[in-house]
Amino acid sequence: MTKVIKRSGREEEYLSDKLYNALIRAGASDEVAKEIVKEIEEKIKDREKISTDEIRRYVLTRLQQLEPEVADAWQFYDRVFKGRITFENGKAVVVEKGRLYLGRKVKDFSGKGLESAEQVNDILEELKEDMDYGLSPKIINARLYALYMGVLHKKDMPVSEKEKAIKYINDFRESLGWKPYELKYPLNS
């Protein structure tokens, strides 16, 4: 079984389900997610180890070719929830802990990534500006989905903050004439 070398140096078993779920959360179609997972499995079948950076570069390259708006959403998620900015070819730059770059703004947060509904609202303000500057509705929609999924899966955000954040996201969607997201499962922190 192939081991994945994390940025920290820690190793864990490669799990195709983990990659598939990450692709789906970023907004990839089932077909594209399955195709990329199959390609990665073929790439690593004779290898003992692969780095997360190598997987990320490959995934982002393929997403740029197959579903560019999902590649953008993946990079957006990395910036907002993982504390890193991903550039072309998937190379990641780690953002100083506590600093989150929101387009033309820099916000100082106490932890890594988003922690509160107000921070989500700041992101939505940036998305509104991005739309005003011509970012396509398809990209905005993909980023909103990534933001929504990130809030749902944020382990250290209290449920009350998640509820407010989802309300902000849905209010934003409705202001654009889009359907709000509906929860499939109860929220947990």
- Of the candidates 24, 48, 66, which is a domain's last residue? 66
DSSP 89: G
- Of the candidates 22, 46, 66, which is a domain's last residue? 66
Q: φ, ψ for residue 5 (rounded to 5)?
A: -95, 115
Contacts of 138 (CB under 8 A, 6+ apart): 69
Q: From residue 47, how far is each of 40, 54, 58 by CA, in Å? A: 11, 13, 15
Residue type, 81: F
For residues 58 and 94, membership in a common domain is answered with no
Contacts of 50 (CB under 8 A, 6+ apart): 2, 3, 4, 5, 14, 43, 44
For residues 100 and 52, membership in a common domain is answered with no
Instruction: State what percent of residues in the chain have pLDDT above 90.
Output: 53
Residue 138 is part of which domain span? Answer: 72-175
The residue ranking higher by pLDDT, 16 or 108, is 16
Q: Does residue 124 fall inside a structural domain? A: yes
This prediction has a pTM of 0.71
Q: φ, ψ for residue 92 (rounded to 5)?
A: -105, 140
The answer to whether residue 188 scores a pLDDT higher than 50 is: yes
Per-residue pLDDT at 96: 52
Q: How many helices (H) and strands (E) does the chain have?
A: 7, 7
For residues 77 and 167, membership in a common domain is answered with yes
Per-residue pLDDT at 176: 96
Predicted confidence band of residue 119 (pLDDT cuts 50, 70, 90): confident
